A and B are shown apart, each in its own frame.
Chain A
């Protein structure tokens, strides 16, 4: 919208000014390094800045939460990462964490408390839903109106944490038409990337999981596949390429659609 460059507050700077922001925006490794998901990070940061949310990011001080190491069986490495991160987070007196990654969300919410890291953890879809309910956010999107979309539930929001509704309610408020896949909500099929699968080759089989899931998404006839997880995003993007559908069908994160609605 404006051509003014937006500054994303970094925790060390804010803290040096003697302030503790209300929220830490935990970007996550995919959010920081993956070219596709960087766009989602930018989108969500724009929304936070637009809403004047008191937040900061850790920037160079952020480290992997240890999730892929832990689920691949490397408990030792996980605990080292967790204790290191908890030290950083506690040094900044962080109470609330917003993250755009369900895997980071799950580990902060369910697993760091065992090691002494207790925070209020919010996934970006939950945050956006709350802003919508407080009337701080306009979700209605005239451009997207009546567009057919389908929402892919990330396992680590859905089955792992029983969060199925925030993303759907945001989509409803945008005015798009969400067509559910055959397997959705608690029945949703994994994209294939969880449990450290993202970082390895799949075992031999007759199909890749991401292709199975992408085909199911395409069967709905939706022209937009919506996700809220960086790994799901990668998998669905790959699936669309594999099916030669990347021209006809797009995949978005909820945050990107909200940015469109807000005209940012």
Chain B
């Protein structure tokens, strides 16, 4: 009974903290601009392909497959974790065992995956700590990023070890027969068969409690860490931008002005929103989807690793854009919530976090967006910030201003007149 009370209390505390965290995030989301979501059918297909089948992460087959194993393992093990919660509240053992063969299969796979994930995590830690992986480096990768990664990996490793322990000592405690199927643990359990019943019980309890309390801790640690993708990746993929990577969104507030400019007799359409700021200067000028992207980014660096600007030593790093976005939201968000949308700390995402030099280095080649395993779209946000620089501040590199002038004056980005457009066809034979 005491066990049930302690467990339920721990669960409630976990849930309360978790919902508090989520509510602060929702408040920050409310500061951002709308981004409409439709085509739910397409989104489910995308979710199956990119998230469940891990299609993008498998573009790097070896390490991608290891990640996929961890992901698939998590999904299977989640079943067992839910059972543990039921066991803990009810005081029963193996509550879901009544499911019979299905139970045996799921628990059996979970046992297998515990060992597989354990090995993958060891490999990941070795990669991070002992191997020089270029995409784990970069100016935006501060000590905290590396610590965060190692803590998350270590936590997952302990979670797997305690799951193995729970399974092994459960088998030891039930020599006469048990529910579920444990392909690996059953093989290891005989090592402990001479252990006294009490000792086995003690180790079972230690593993069981450590396992579930770490899950509770992990759930509340994740939203504050770069590893939030454990929760965010599925929704973020589901809410992906569905347009082709080549498409930029039309700015409605600009269209209103342009239509009026081209046809002054036309009465401006007052039904559309009054033109606000053109482009994105700070986090609250961006959409909630941009913020979702920032929360989901786990700093894997696949984007930066394929960025032509970054590869050739320019300052731009697509990963940094979203790390900066999240940092800036953490800085200004609470102040905006407290003091209202008009509040300013005379800082902004553009310049204080992301320099013009970074923004102008992008070739919009979409290599970053193509590579992101959680469908973050970097180029549209980069262009949105350029829009702010150009349309609000007229702050573009001089040569681009020349290009704009040529297009305005003679309809081509170079200084040639339209009369010369057919020169190529002269003396065609």
Contact = CB atoms under 8 A, between A and B. Distances in A.
Interface string A50-94: 000000010111111010111111111101110110000000000
A163 B426 CA distance: 32
Given A75-B391, A194-B363, A81 B411 contact: yes
B125 interface: no
B194 interface: no
A203 B315 contact: yes
A70 B403 CA distance: 11
Interface stretch (A107-115, A144-152, A218-226, A246-254): A107-115
A202 interface: yes
Contacts of A114: 249-250
B420 interface: yes
A136 interface: no
A83 B262 contact: yes
Nearest to B425: A8
B238 interface: no
A198 B412 CA distance: 13
A155 interface: yes
Given A32-B421, A80-B262, A160 B246 contact: yes
B311 interface: yes
Contacts of A213: 308
Given A64-B412, A79-B255, A115-B255, A207 B420 contact: no
B63 to A, nearest CB: 16
Given A73-B383, A73-B389, A194-B364, A59 B422 contact: yes
A161 B244 contact: yes
B311 A212 contact: yes
A40 B187 CA distance: 69
Contact of A189 (B313, B367, B407, B423): B367
Contact of B314 (A73, A76, A204): A204
Given A64-B407, A190-B363, A76 B258 contact: yes
Given A75-B391, A156-B246, A38 B361 contact: no
B262 A71 contact: no
B412 A4 contact: no
Contacts of B365: 155, 159, 189-190, 194-195
Contact of B386 (A32, A72, A81, A162): A72
Contact of B412 (A2, A61, A63, A203): A63
B246 A209 contact: no
Interface stretch (B6-14, B155-163, B393-401): B393-401
Contacts of B59: 186-187
Interface in B210-230: none
The size bracket of the interface on B is 35 or more
Interface stretch (A41-49, A123-131, A169-177): A41-49
Interface of A: 1-8, 10, 27, 29, 31-33, 38, 41-42, 45-46, 57, 59-64, 66, 68-77, 79-81, 83-84, 106, 109-111, 114-115, 155-156, 159-162, 186-187, 189-190, 192-209, 212-213
18 contacts: A3-B429, A63-B411, A72-B396, A73-B396, A74-B404, A77-B408, A79-B251, A155-B363, A161-B244, A187-B306, A190-B363, A192-B363, A198-B413, A199-B403, A200-B397, A201-B397, A205-B361, A209-B308
Interface of B: 59, 243-251, 254-255, 257-259, 261-262, 278-279, 306, 308-309, 311-316, 357, 360-367, 369-370, 379, 383, 385-391, 396-397, 399-400, 402-404, 407-408, 411-414, 416, 418-425, 427-429
Given A73-B396, A83-B259, A195-B383, 19 more contacts: A33-B416, A33-B421, A38-B424, A69-B403, A76-B254, A77-B404, A80-B258, A81-B411, A114-B250, A155-B363, A155-B366, A159-B365, A160-B246, A189-B311, A202-B314, A205-B313, A209-B308, A209-B309, A212-B312
